[in-house]
Amino acid sequence: MVNIREQIKQLVNLSGIFLTKHEIENIEITDFGLNNFNHAGLIVHTYINTERCCAKELIMLPHQICPEHVHPSIGTQQGKEETFRCRFGKVSVFIEGSVTQKPTVDLPKDTENYTVFHEVILERGEQLTLAPNSKHWFKAHSEGAVVSEFSTTSNDDADLFTNKAINRSSRLSL
pLDDT at 174: 66
Q: Are 169 and 88 contacting, i.e. CB atoms less than 8 angstroms apart?
A: no
pLDDT at 2: 44
Task: Tell me how many helices (H) and strands (E) the chain has.
Answer: 2, 9
Residue ranges of the chain with pLDDT lower than 50?
1-2
Model confidence over 30-48: pLDDT tens digits? 999 999 999 999 999 999 9
Cα–Cα distance, 136 to 162 (Å, whole number): 10
Cα–Cα distance, 151 to 113 (Å, whole number): 25
Kind and range of the H or E element at 162? none
Cα–Cα distance, 23 to 32 (Å, whole number): 21
pLDDT at 103: 98
Q: How many CB atoms lie within 10 A of CB 65?
A: 25
pLDDT at 1: 46
CATH 2.60.120.10 fits 4-161, yes or no: yes
**What's this model's pTM, rounded to 2 decimal places?**
0.95
pLDDT at 37: 94
Nearest to 66 by CA among 103, 15, 12, 113: 113
CA–chain centroid gap for 18, Å, is 19
